[in-house]
Structure 1
């Protein structure tokens, strides 16, 4: 019987690995196609041949190639980084807290970053680049710290619904404080972009600061993926299997802060991406975070590139905030999960 169990286990593992490779490969192909169309589409349609030339044979004297190189290419790269970072952050938070409702926008992380950015603009007018990124990191840490502190004081501990309720309340508080600061110091116009959420106006200078942060966070996630799988079964089991839960959680939170802080500093508040994508990925590849994390990064990047493309096509030549597109998908999904988890913990 043991031999049969071992064979069945190996078969299931091989099947999951095959599924993960298939999902990753299809996702990458779709991502490349989406990026090309994202660069081509806009207020001015640009032929695909010119997109190829601008990327591989850049000629700064041609206007269309300047548009691609200076505006659309950094925007597409930002969509990939932000989408991958937010999806990975959601997957990490769901795995570490064992909370299917966990998401950077639901647990106060993005709102904390937005508040910090409002404070930065109020105290240091014209702040940008690395200082703004550091402010965003600090705000993200403040947001998640407050949510974990408040929810830990509740009876019965950190249940998924209580954590989501605490995150929603803290998020509203932080957003309100950011609004008050923006009005008091007359910086509402400067931070309106971060409230709406979007990728328009992304520059290469911004990417030079965000790329290292995003890549560092992604690498940390991939490095601790196996430990997150063990942690997702509970702290007691993880400790029994020899996992250093405290260090894994600290590393995971550091990765979340790097990715979410970088995402908010460049794209503002984009909600629900970190909620939707990990659940989609888990349904496709199973519960092993060795597969969930890389596939979530690919599918998150793909979803945000498509959402950004859709935001430009809803009401051309005007742009709809990309956060509106993700919210239209995410809010019904969140309500469904909240109802399901609420029944489970009644």
Structure 2
């Protein structure tokens, strides 16, 4: 059984307005996500559609297409943001993310193989293959990261990086071998919440909720873990079990998110840094804050992808990759300093 540090100190009151500001920004993104697209819908129509007071064509677009897409974006963004906070906490590496552990690429390979071998054609058909691939990749990275029975943060990240390269090469080989598989898988591999309905999300809700609860429970322990393994052990922390529990939370959260929306990069990396910049390094505040920052970043990127190429749109995974590359360079430079 995992135990956590039960020490409690008051959360500074000055952080409360920042949390409220984050919630307000998220609510604004939700409204914009319902209103903007290839065809913009007035805010009044959006409100009336949500309360069932309008049955016009625009209202049907809001309730039938954009509302499920926004709900999926909220769940996926929250899962990726929380997973990023936990993985950075257990590895004490500010550049760690679910992608670093090979989760995205493990899911991608599993989906590509399933499409190729089983002739699948709809996301709902291969959602469990994606989750299984993500879980297997994370478990393999976990095995590579163990040393003397405990998880080593450096070996964990290095093992995930090596696994990424292997999985990418295998996925590319399958795609080059089968043109049909490439046609079916490329939309999912780009990472998108478009055309994702609640039927795709519902099978993953139990794993999302279990992972979220586990990640939130571990938040106080991550504060102690940040002091270093020796100090945490001296304070009575079961460091190895904390990291194992953290990895389980990351697998459940990121695996579920990738299964639903495809491999969306940089949300798990950027959300913890954004929260840390605003709220500080206290994981008791930072980890729950990622439940706001994750969907905020994802919905903002999705909205941007809809309006920059009207009447077409860019998948959210393309937008996050385009914006995340310079962010990664900045973070790497700051970490080196």
**Closer, same or farther: CA 166–329 of 1 in aligned 2, 3 Å:** farther
Deviation of 1:113 (Å): 1.2
User: Which ranges in structure 2 are unaligned for 5 or more consecutive residues?
Assistant: 1-7
Aligned-CA RMSD value = 2.6
1:50 aligns with 2:42: no
**Closer, same or farther: CA 133–234 of 1 in aligned 2, 3 Å:** farther
Deviation of 1:242 (Å): 2.2
Deviation of 1:276 (Å): 1.3
Contact 2:90 2:153 in 1 (8 A): no
Give the TM-score, by structure 2 length: 0.87
Q: For residues 327 and 74 of structure 1, what CA distance do their matches in structure 2 show?
A: 23
Q: For residues 108 and 88 of structure 2, what CA distance do their matches in structure 1 show?
A: 22
Q: For residues 132 and 228 of structure 1, what CA distance do their matches in structure 2 show?
A: 34
Q: For residues 234 and 143 of structure 1, what CA distance do their matches in structure 2 show?
A: 27
Partner of 1:25: 20
**Closer, same or farther: CA 257–152 of 1 in aligned 2, 3 Å:** closer
Contact 2:127 2:200 in 1 (8 A): no
- How many residues end up aligned between the 2 structures? 326
Partner of 1:208: 202
Contact 1:83 1:304 in 2 (8 A): yes
Equivalent position to 2:164, from 153, 160, 171: 171
Q: For residues 167 and 282 of structure 1, what CA distance do their matches in structure 2 show?
A: 24
1:185-200 alignment to 2 at 5 Å? 185=178, 186-200=180-194
Cα deviation per residue 1:115-171 (whole Å; 9 max; x = unaligned)? 111122223333767763332222223333444555668xxx9575x7655544422
1:59-78 alignment to 2 at 5 Å? 62-78=56-72
**Closer, same or farther: CA 250–56 of 1 in aligned 2, 3 Å:** farther
Contact 1:307 1:325 in 2 (8 A): yes
Contact 1:88 1:293 in 2 (8 A): yes
Equivalent position to 1:115, from 87, 109, 113: 109
| SS of match in other structure, 1:220 | helix
Partner of 2:30: 35
User: Which ranges in structure 1 are unaligned for 5 or more consecutive residues?
Assistant: 1-9
Partner of 1:143: 137
Cα deviation per residue 1:284-334 (whole Å; 9 max; x = unaligned)? 222211101111110111111111000111111111121232223322222
Give the TM-score, by structure 1 length: 0.85
Partner of 2:224: 230
Cα deviation per residue 1:176-233 (whole Å; 9 max; x = unaligned)? 2122223435311221122211111011211212333322221211112111221222
Equivalent position to 2:293, from 296, 299, 309: 299
Equivalent position to 1:259, from 237, 253, 264: 253
Contact 2:108 2:263 in 1 (8 A): yes
Q: For residues 146 and 323 of structure 2, what CA distance do their matches in structure 1 show?
A: 30
1:93-112 alignment to 2 at 5 Å? 93-112=87-106
